[in-house]
Amino acid sequence: MTDLHRLSIRELAEGLSQAKFSSRELTEHYLKRIAKIDPLVKSYVTVTPEQALAEADAADAALKAGNATALTGIPLAHKDIFCTKGIKTTAGSKILDNFISPYDATVVEKTKAAGLVTLGKVNMDEFAMGSTSESSYVGATSNPWALDHVPGGSSGGSAAAVAADLAPFATGTDTGGSIRQPASFCGLTGLKPTYGRVSRFGIIAYASSLDQAGPMARSAEDCAYLMNVIAGHDAKDSTSVKKEVDDYVANLNGTSVKGLRIGIPKQYFNVAGLDTDVKTRVEESLKKLEEMGATLVEIDLNMTEAYVPTYYLIAPAEASSNLSRYDGVRYGYRCENPADLMDLYKRSRSEGFGPEVQRRILIGTYALSAGYYDAYYVKAQKVRRLIQQDFLKAFENVDVIAAPAAPTTAYKIGASLDPVEMYLGDIYTIAVNLAGLPAINAPVGFDKDNLPVGLQLIGNYWSESQLLSIVHQYQQNTDWHTKRAAIAEENA
Ligand code: GLN
């Protein structure tokens, strides 16, 4: 079969269980596509063909023996931020260029236990800091819709791999939008779960109170399958929550769009940098949901102006603390011929970290330093609480909140936005992480340059099933999620 890459996760699972094709055939099909097409897209940092084929053979044996799970034998790609035993994990940084983890992240352990086949590790912004994936030390990844554009970030490799049909689905992480924004830029569906829903154990930490892993795929249905595997309490992550996990696949039709109250924040649609095509496509998608029976309710989110400054104090502060462990002694890159211990620290870190990571370490260390702690860090924490309360107040009157995922479509590679300009592009995603809420991106059309536009729906705590269900029904009534970039149409 030449078109295995066009099948949904459900179709792949059916095909495998009915022995229409084997996991080995499917895995070889993807490996062939990666070999041919990825040199143009550059989504993979590491491809692991031998391990993938061994896993595929084990999956085929399990399928034959009748002890397969729903997803046994289906391939996926992991963002290079998830620790993988025996396979390099770089987090896009030179400082971890030679790092091989002695253990698997819980998410990876779970995908393995479910019989999923790991194709490899995909590119990302260095330590997940960025919105373009250009800050990766291995270089930029291309957007499959326009190769001279970025796929977004930080999970840009995950998004590009799926959008070019170089993996059926992928894992990502989202600290301030890194699942939703690249999903938006590449025309995919991506879910950022409630903080605590998915274990952070073995995920290279950026900002620990904001980091959360989630699925990136073509549709809400595909995302639901991966959520069923990765969600759940983990004793190894003290912030993961002991709460029963929904069956996200079974619940795909569980929420009625009829009567659903969708909040439209006044402040969000008046943001200065909001592109007119993005605004129009998002409004059209909301009209569609209205036709399907939803009610649009105008709401106020008065803290909108505080999102960017608050996030860009808290996230760098946590990062500066998390990244202090990379000292050239215990992990990763070490400078050559250090004169003494201080020289070893200084040069290993200056040579090992890229400019954006260094910028954030500086900002974060400053915000946490003795004389400024109260004025910056503590104040930001107080504002963070107000932002959360703003959302909770809104949820008294609406079921979900709608927003663009990003104010623009994908940027050109090398557009070299100045840092503040880039930070402002995170306006629609970062507050969700500050509040710990779940949110989803769904593709809702294209701009004048044929670049994808995304609608974001933000839910109350633990509403992952509801978000997936709403998007699933939208996708039953529209076909944006079925559109493929020209490069994905190519056969290997
Ligand atoms: N763009 C945001 C940042 O640079 C979000 C990144 C993320 O979610 N990892 O911090």
Q: What is the 3-state secondary structure (H, E, C) of 34-50?
A: HHHHHHHHCCEEEECHH
User: What does the alpha-carbon distance between residue 229 and residue 113 come to, in Å, rounded to a whole number?
Assistant: 9
What is the predicted pLDDT for the residue at 452?
A: 98
Q: Which atom of ligand 1 is nearest to the CA of 174?
A: 8
Series of mean pLDDT values for 10-residue runs along the chain (492 residues): 91 98 98 98 98 98 97 98 98 96 98 98 98 97 98 98 98 98 98 98 98 98 98 98 97 96 96 95 98 98 98 98 94 94 97 98 96 95 98 98 98 90 96 98 98 98 98 98 94 82
**Residue 483 phi, psi (nearest 5):** -70, 140
What is the predicted pLDDT for the residue at 331?
A: 81
Which of 93, 134, 178 for mutating ligand 1's site (highest number of atoms within 8 Å of CB)?
A: 178
Report angle CA 235, 102, 140 to the nearest 5 degrees.
100
Among 8, 42, 43, 79, the active-site one is 79
158 CA distance to ligand 1 middle (Å): 15
Which helix (H) or strand (E) segment holds residue 427: the answer is none
What is the predicted pLDDT for the residue at 429?
A: 98
Distant-in-sequence, close-in-space partners of 486: CB < 8 Å, separation ≥ 6? none
DSSP assignment of 97-112:
TT-B-SS--HHHHHHH
188 CA distance to ligand 1 middle (Å): 18
Beta bridge mates, 412: 149
Which of 126, 154, 420, 434 for mutating ligand 1's site (highest number of atoms within 8 Å of CB)?
A: 154
DSSP assignment of 314-354:
HHHHHHHHHGGG-SSSSSS---SS-SSHHHHHHHHHHHHS-
Among 136, 155, 158, 178, the active-site one is 178
Q: Which two tokens stand for residue 478?
A: 């529209």
The side-by-side arrangement of strands in the sheet containing 452-459 is 44-47, 117-122, 75-79, 170-173, 213-217, 189-192, 439-446, 452-459, 400-404, 261-265, 295-299
Nearest Cα residue to atom 10 of ligand 1:
129
Would you call the peptide bond into 154 cis, given omega within 30 degrees of 0 as the criterion?
yes
Note whether 62 and 72 are within 8 A (CB).
yes
CA neighbor of 481 nearest in space, from 260, 222, 251, 294: 222
312 CA distance to ligand 1 middle (Å): 10
73 CA distance to ligand 1 middle (Å): 32
173 CA distance to ligand 1 middle (Å): 9
User: What does the alpha-carbon distance between residue 88 and residue 447 come to, in Å, rounded to a whole number?
Assistant: 38
Q: Which atom of ligand 1 is nearest to the CA of 312?
A: 10
Q: Which atom of ligand 1 is nearest to the CA of 422?
A: 1
User: What does the alpha-carbon distance between residue 434 and residue 223 come to, in Å, rounded to a whole number?
Assistant: 23
CB-defined site of ligand 1, < 6 Å: 128-131, 154, 174-178, 206, 315, 426
User: What does the alpha-carbon distance between residue 198 and residue 192 come to, in Å, rounded to a whole number?
Assistant: 10
Report angle CA 240, 246, 247 to the nearest 5 degrees.
130
What is the predicted pLDDT for the residue at 332?
A: 87
Which of 125, 126, 322 for mutating ligand 1's site (highest number of atoms within 8 Å of CB)?
A: 125
What is the predicted pLDDT for the residue at 1?
A: 63
Q: Which atom of ligand 1 is nearest to the CA of 210?
A: 8
The stretches of 353-405 forming alpha helices (DSSP H) are 355-368, 379-394
226 CA distance to ligand 1 middle (Å): 22
Distance of CA 32 to the CA centre of its chain: 25
Q: Is 178 an active-site residue?
A: yes
CA end-to-end span of the chain: 12
Among 133, 135, 154, 469, the active-site one is 154
Q: Is 79 an active-site residue?
A: yes
